[in-house]
Chain A
Amino acid sequence: MSPRKLLTALALWTLAISVLHVSLNTRWDSFVNELRPEQERKLNVAYIPVT
């Protein structure tokens, strides 16, 4: 494989992993929520996995 093809494949792989990470691992609802006016913001409610 030529260096150019290798670099292209690496770049595509990095891009794919980054897109997957940003879409799957980021709480976009929380991020967007912080940008809303205070009165319209959703409430963050904490719980732990115990009764």
Chain B
Amino acid sequence: MTDYIARHSLEQYLFIPKMFQGFPEIKEALISNRIQAGFLVAPLAIALRSQGVPIKIVFLGHRYGSAMVVKRGGPVKTVADLKGKTIAIPSRFSDERLLLLRALKANGLGPTDVRTLEMAPPDVAGALASDAIDGFVMGEPFPSQAEMGGFGQVLFHAREYWPDYMSCVLVVRDDIIEKRPEAVQVLVDGIARSGLWLDEGQTEREYAAEFVGRYYYNQPPSLLKWALTRPLDRVRFNPLLPRKDDFELVHGLMLEYGLIEKPIAFEDYVDARFAEGAVAETAWDYPVGHGRMDVNQLPME
């Protein structure tokens, strides 16, 4: 996504997209200023800010797109069956962990009724296939990977326990927000336009799956196609404005489960100016059609 924005922004390259394999590495890179912006799970971003790391949330990456997956044909048929099981999560400070805790609570279970294990997202499907874990809560395309592989089945999608669920958010270092707000606006505008383009329909999503799989994620396009289209609202890219209500829910859960020690004001960890500046944006004008697979004209992440 950022690469496409860079290629089409102000006739110059403003951004360098860098792929990481886990959130802890992104956290370290942000703290050390090796990267100036990045996508983090929302609770991790809030926790970092509460610990004094100079970052702000400026936009969302998507909505929904996380699911609890268990072994197909295994003993877990309901959430209540998770008692005593080992569940992989991307981070202790992740929306996926909070989602799991919400689902457990709704089914009369507590945090101590399951064993959670932090695991890098790309490792979870293999761990489930080899019975190293009983299930995982993770963002796409890893639930789809387990489904496609025939060894996993979705126990629940995020929307079943968390309406308007959000996971990854875009964070930017404070010094960049202060000194180069125009660059931040270009980035947010670009992500907004990409989201609108992706939500135009199945054709756009299938096309995105092709080039993102091949040129960015190094994952099979068929996997991303599954994740983006089965069903079409499995992952949504609108609305991406950071809403106070959504974050207060996350913030409240973080306090409840001890992820932060004291409350932090919404305005202290979110800067919504750039998202508000992007509300009038429209989808990228990038019609999908035969023969348009051109790496130099790639749309979005």
Contacts from A to B (Cβ < 8 Å):
27, 29-30, 33, 38-39, 42-51
Does chain A have a CB within 8 A of B46?
no
> Is B218 within 8 A of A51, CB to CB?
no
Contacts from B to A (Cβ < 8 Å):
1-2, 6, 13-23, 26, 29-30, 34-39, 61-62, 65-66, 90, 121-122, 138-142, 167-168, 176, 179-180, 183, 187, 216-219, 227, 235, 301
Complex interface: chain B residues within 8 A of A48 (CB): 19-23, 26, 39, 121
> Is A46 within 8 A of B20, CB to CB?
yes
Q: Find the A residue at minimum CB distance from B34.
A: A44
Chain B contact surface mostly:
mixed
> Is A49 within 8 A of B218, CB to CB?
yes
- B77 CB to closest chain A CB, in angstroms? 26
**Contact status of A51 and B167, CB under 8 A, knowing A43-B176, A45-B16, A46-B20:** yes
> Is B20 within 8 A of A51, CB to CB?
no
> Is A33 within 8 A of B61, CB to CB?
no
> Is B66 within 8 A of A51, CB to CB?
yes
- Cα-based distance from A42 to B2 in the complex (angstroms): 12
- Cα-based distance from A46 to B140 in the complex (angstroms): 17
- Cα-based distance from A43 to B39 in the complex (angstroms): 13
Complex interface: chain A residues within 8 A of B167 (CB): 51
Complex interface: chain B residues within 8 A of A29 (CB): 13, 16
